[in-house]
Amino acid sequence: MNNFQNKIVWITGASSGIGEALSYQFAKEGAKLVLSARREMELQRVANATGLGADKVLVLPMDMLNFDVFPEKVKTVLEHFGQIDVVVQNAGITQRSLVKDTDFKVYRDIMELDFFSTVAFTQAILPHFSERKTGHFVAISSVAGKIGTPLRSGYCAAKHAMIAFFDSLRAEVWQENIQVTVICPGYINTPISLNALDGNGNVHGKMDKNQSRGMSAERCAEKIVKAVKANQKEVYIGGWYEVMGVYLKRYLPAVVYKLVLKVNAEK
């Protein structure tokens, strides 16, 4: 898809971070937007900031853990815009706790939001894409789905599962002209670490140094939109350190295993 003019782009996790930045970037590209997250006031703020008219943006609050409402939400979007062209699955949460200090429920909560919600949401939208013989899933995974690091075991596992799921989906639906792009950001300057879960399931509430020094969400969004335009299959976005790590893991895994041992993980 090399042109987003008047295309309907649905973004989850659109109230902050990468999702918010993508809202502005897709708006610049001429898309019509569906913005979803839990916080309606923040979604309305983002909608207003896009500069789009009321006829070109739909604020659709949605709790990604309430899987049962997904078919109803899809119906709402179709009644409003008539179609869906691109779905950006961006909602998620990370973690800051050692395995030995993490309640098992925390792992379940991370997997529910970061993995199972994306599966349920995909299944709700896929019939529409299949009927139209077109559509584009954009899955926001993470470099952490490629390289496991300390204090993020649940997050790394969920993002790894997300990559595998969408790789399989791509192999199943390509003949229906349905595209799948998996995005693996590295350190991006967003509030993700502030909202991370600790071992007890409480909010971490601290900004990681690496996160604060990371690529801007705006620059990340530009790269994501460019990748979607080019129908790229898997894209790594971030600084040279984390992106290079993905390639080292592929070709020189022993080197990465040693480097990870020296990671100064923040808690």
- Residue 26 in any domain: the answer is yes
Number of domains in the chain: 1
- Residue 106 in any domain: the answer is yes
The tens digit of pLDDT for each residue in 192-204 reads 888 899 999 988 8
- Residue 162 in any domain: the answer is yes
Structural domain range at position 138: 8-261
Closest CA to 233 of 177, 167, 178: 167
Alpha helices in 17-138 (DSSP H): 17-28, 40-50, 70-81, 104-111, 117-132
- Residue 2 in any domain: the answer is no
- Residue 3 in any domain: the answer is no
pLDDT higher at 81 or 212: 81
Closest CA to 141 of 179, 85, 198, 180: 180
- Residue 264's pLDDT band, with cuts at 50, 70 and 90, is low
The domain that holds 219 is classified in CATH as 3.40.50.720
| Residues β-bridged to residue 55 | none
The pTM assigned to this predicted structure is: 0.94
The tens digit of pLDDT for each residue in 108-147 reads 999 999 999 999 999 999 999 999 999 999 999 999 999 9
Percentage of the chain exceeding pLDDT 90 = 82
- Residue 32 in any domain: the answer is yes
- Residue 1 in any domain: the answer is no
Catalytic residues: 155
Residue 129 in 3-state DSSP?
helix
The tens digit of pLDDT for each residue in 46-68 reads 999 999 999 999 999 999 999 99
Structure tokens at 163: 């990559």
